[in-house]
């Protein structure tokens, strides 16, 4: 379409979404979706009543256009009042609150229904600036309605959200909503003219034009949240998980200066995630599948005030090829935003991110099942069988081989008492196929490190761990897995052990690298994982601390872990409690150990520790403690 043929117009744009939607979904997904449907039944007739038209929706968000500013304002007020009325009823199970932004500006028609352009973008920025239950409007809307309505307004002054600068007003539904925001000052404008290095320093201080004195967030840290499925089907939920996990992996590859944390569960409170992780950015989203069409909504969220930096909705035909292309498009958009904010330097961007792809959507579904089986253990065998079929369909798809190797390795490790060495041989064969196709696969190198660990092939294990570390230095979950293999690999004994503040006693060769694994890689991973969302760093450091009999530090590692009554949680916590002279607490932990393994025999525990190459390292320390609590 040529420039002169572009369908442009001036429109009054209404934008709204639910406050804390992720928190509600985590608490009760079914009740939240039911409440969202109820609220949609409230908003739709009010929009129609005011001659408005919904042109885009994305889960909890609604965008509509109106023929006049007064109509949009009246609609917004009536909707907020009805939502407030709904929330006061005792029978209301989930009390949803909405933010609303209204702008008038230039828009471009896209397709039969959708609108795009600055007019829509600024409406979204105003919505992000609004208070829960509130309405924030642009000055051009205010100028049109102030003398034609009886509403009270509060002047917020000139505000800046991302690259957009606009004058904003709150419509006051009651006096408690009156607030004062610092305006876009000349000092903030000056920063926009300063070179990239200075802008990177100050970007954490200015986002919406509000100057904050609190601790600055880490501009290189991004938390990728699990995308939500807007349907109840397991297949769609796994697809949502897969898309978000892949986005995290590709972001890790995209720039060496980024620290990416992929969450596996939807958090209750986004502000708490930002505080715990010190992350400046969060990536959230949702998906819905309609027949063979996939709609994906992605939000890049400012970690400081949990407001949207941008929100984008993508509609694609559901094929493997389209999913991978969509992921690449989203990554490009995110990276462009971070470069513009000074969070990433252009020179650090990897512009040639090689993606392993398949055109078969059923293979991608198998991989998503494999991902989920890390949590849902009963799905592991099903995932392995599915992946075996996948590599027959597309033997050149490296990721299918990687996940087949990973989950086959899991089956080997899940049953330490069984004679199942054939599984390890199969896993080794699968990972070699994967790395032949994609030698720089970060997940592949991580899986190969673990397989070589089980095979006790120490020279190969340390070599692969080093390569994997180079590929994954920004991902704490991967780094902690590598740290565990490095710390406990080789032929370490207690003679090689040193505490974190001592000089290394190991030889940094293929015999033992305990100090590097525990106190260099392990502590680095733990420092990166400020919110304790990855778990491997906590567990491996608990073992390291218990080996040097530092029970206090070991308990600090275990206290955030939600795995009570599980074998590893109870045995590490029990030993640490004993070292801290908390003997009654230790006794409780060790009783849970006996229940977990259904025996008090030390031979059972020895066999488990041997499978993880710890029979000469941590086991002698643990054995002395266990004998004091009825193990024999």
Of 142, 148, 210, 143, the residue nearest 170 (C-alpha)? 142
Distances (CA, A) of 116 to 103, 120, 122, 253, 314: 13, 6, 11, 31, 13
pLDDT, one tens digit per residue, over 349-367 is 444 444 456 667 777 778 7
Taking the CA atoms of the chain, what radius of gyration do you get in angstroms?
27
pLDDT, one tens digit per residue, over 151-185 is 999 998 888 765 678 899 999 998 888 887 766 54
Q: What is the pLDDT of residue 556?
A: 92
Whether residues 23 and 156 share a domain: the answer is yes
Residue spans of alpha helices (H) in 255-319 = 270-277
* 391 within domain boundaries: no
Whether residues 233 and 129 share a domain: the answer is no
Whether residues 120 and 238 share a domain: the answer is no
Whether residues 167 and 316 share a domain: the answer is no
Query: Is the per-residue pLDDT at 442 higher than 60?
Result: yes
Q: What is the pLDDT of residue 361?
A: 72
* 475 within domain boundaries: no
List the single range of 168-182, 330-344, 523-537, 547-561 with lowest mean pLDDT: 330-344
Q: What is the pLDDT of residue 210?
A: 33
pLDDT, one tens digit per residue, over 390-431 is 899 888 888 889 999 999 998 887 765 567 888 999 999 999
Whether residues 18 and 162 share a domain: the answer is yes
Whether residues 156 and 259 share a domain: the answer is no
What mean pLDDT, rounded, does the chain reach?
A: 81
Number of domains in the chain: 2
Whether residues 173 and 275 share a domain: the answer is no
Whether residues 13 and 159 share a domain: the answer is yes
Measured over all CA atoms, what is the biggest interatomic distance in the chain, rounded to whole angstroms? 86
Whether residues 145 and 27 share a domain: the answer is yes
List the single range of 151-155, 438-442, 456-460, 469-473 with lowest mean pLDDT: 469-473
Q: What is the pLDDT of residue 508?
A: 60
Residue spans of alpha helices (H) in 162-255 = 186-191, 196-202, 234-254
* 76 within domain boundaries: yes
* 371 within domain boundaries: no
Last residue of a domain, one of 341, 367, 394: 341
List the single range of 79-83, 198-202, 242-246, 490-494 with lowest mean pLDDT: 198-202
Whether residues 133 and 274 share a domain: the answer is no
Whether residues 9 and 154 share a domain: the answer is yes
Mean pLDDT in residue range 579-585 = 95
pLDDT grade for 188, boundaries at 50, 70 and 90: very low
| C-alpha–C-alpha distance, residues 392 and 387, integer Å | 9
User: Would the CA dihedral through 192, 196, 202, 207 be positive or negative?
Assistant: positive
* 297 within domain boundaries: yes
Of 293, 273, 438, 291, the residue nearest 355 (C-alpha)? 438
3-state secondary structure of 112: coil
Mean pLDDT in residue range 540-545 = 94
Of 43, 81, 72, the residue nearest 148 (C-alpha)? 72
Mean pLDDT in residue range 491-510 = 81
State what percent of residues in the chain have pLDDT above 70: 81
Domain that holds residue 263: 220-341
* 364 within domain boundaries: no
Q: What is the pLDDT of residue 279?
A: 82
Last residue of a domain, one of 341, 362, 390: 341
* 114 within domain boundaries: yes
Q: What is the pLDDT of residue 554?
A: 94
Q: What is the pLDDT of residue 16?
A: 94
| C-alpha–C-alpha distance, residues 620 and 632, integer Å | 14
pLDDT grade for 471, boundaries at 50, 70 and 90: confident
Mean pLDDT in residue range 129-136 = 92
Last residue of a domain, one of 160, 179, 198: 179
Q: What is the pLDDT of residue 319?
A: 67
pLDDT, one tens digit per residue, over 504-513 is 876 666 688 9
Angle at 481 between CA 488 and CA 613, to 5 degrees: 25
Q: In this predicted model, which residue has the larger pLDDT, 75 or 231?
A: 75
- For the beta carbon of residue 189, count every other beta carbon within 10 angstroms: 14
């Amino acid at each position: 379409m040529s420039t002169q043929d572009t369908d442009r117009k001036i429109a009054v744009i209404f934008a709204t979404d639910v406050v804390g939607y992720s928190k509600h979904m985590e608490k009760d997904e079914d009740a939240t979706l039911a409440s969202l449907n109820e609220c949609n039944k409230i908003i739709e007739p009010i929009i129609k009543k005011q001659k408005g038209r919904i042109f885009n929706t994305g889960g909890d968000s609604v965008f509509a256009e109106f023929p006049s500013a007064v109509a949009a304002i009246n609609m917004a007020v009536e909707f907020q009042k009805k939502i407030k009325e709904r929330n006061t009823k005792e029978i209301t199970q989930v009390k949803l609150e909405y933010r609303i932004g209204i702008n008038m500006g230039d828009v471009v028609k896209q397709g039969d229904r959708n609108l795009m352009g600055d007019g829509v973008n600024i409406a979204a920025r105003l919505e992000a600036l609004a208070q829960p239950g509130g309405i924030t409007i642009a000055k051009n809307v205010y100028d049109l309605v102030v003398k034609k309505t009886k509403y009270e307004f509060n002047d917020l002054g000139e505000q800046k959200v991302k690259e957009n600068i606009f004058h904003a007003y709150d419509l006051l539904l009651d006096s408690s909503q009156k607030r004062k925001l610092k305006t876009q000052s000349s000092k903030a404008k000056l920063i926009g003219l300063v070179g990239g290095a200075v802008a990177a320093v100050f970007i954490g201080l200015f986002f919406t034009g509000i100057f904050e004195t609190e601790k600055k967030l880490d501009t290189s840290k991004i938390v990728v949240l699990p995308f939500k499925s807007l349907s109840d089907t397991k297949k769609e939920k796994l697809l949502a998980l897969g898309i978000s996990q892949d986005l995290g992996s590709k972001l890790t590859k995209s720039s060496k200066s980024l620290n990416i944390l992929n969450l596996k569960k939807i958090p209750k409170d986004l502000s708490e995630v930002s505080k715990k992780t010190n992350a400046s950015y969060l990536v959230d989203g949702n998906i819905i599948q309609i027949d063979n069409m996939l709609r994906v909504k992605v939000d890049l969220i400012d970690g400081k005030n949990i407001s949207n930096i941008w929100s984008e909705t993508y509609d694609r035909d559901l094929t493997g090829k389209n999913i991978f292309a969509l992921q690449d498009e989203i990554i490009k958009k995110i990276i462009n935003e971070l470069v513009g904010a000074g969070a990433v330097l252009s020179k650090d961007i990897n512009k040639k991110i090689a993606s392993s792809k398949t055109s078969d959507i059923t293979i991608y579904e198998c991989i998503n099942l494999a991902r989920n089986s890390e949590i849902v253990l009963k799905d592991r065998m099903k995932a392995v069988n599915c992946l075996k079929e996948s590599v027959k369909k597309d033997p050149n798809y490296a990721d299918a081989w990687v996940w087949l190797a990973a989950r086959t390795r899991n089956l080997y490790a899940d049953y330490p008492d069984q004679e199942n060495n054939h599984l390890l041989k199969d896993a080794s064969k699968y990972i070699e196929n994967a790395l032949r196709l994609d030698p720089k696969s970060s997940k592949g190198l991580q899986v190969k490190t673990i397989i070589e660990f089980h095979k006790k092939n120490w020279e190969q294990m340390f070599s692969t761990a080093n390569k994997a570390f180079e590929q994954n230095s920004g991902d704490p979950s991967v780094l902690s897995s590598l740290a565990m293999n490095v710390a406990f690999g080789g032929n370490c004994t207690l003679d090689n052990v040193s505490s974190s503040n001592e000089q290394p006693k190991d030889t940094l060769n293929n015999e033992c690298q305990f100090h590097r694994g525990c106190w260099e890689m392990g502590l680095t991973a733990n420092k990166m994982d400020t919110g304790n969302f990855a778990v491997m760093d906590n567990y491996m450091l608990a073992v390291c601390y218990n080996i040097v009999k530092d029970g206090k530090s070991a308990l600090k590692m275990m206290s955030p872990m939600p795995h009570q009554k599980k074998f590893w949680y109870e045995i590490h916590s029990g030993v640490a409690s004993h070292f801290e002279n908390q003997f009654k607490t230790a006794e409780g932990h060790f009783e849970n150990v006996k229940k977990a393994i259904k025996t008090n025999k030390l031979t059972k525990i020895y066999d488990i520790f041997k499978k993880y190459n710890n029979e000469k390292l941590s086991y002698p320390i643990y054995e002395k403690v266990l004998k004091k609590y009825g193990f024999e």
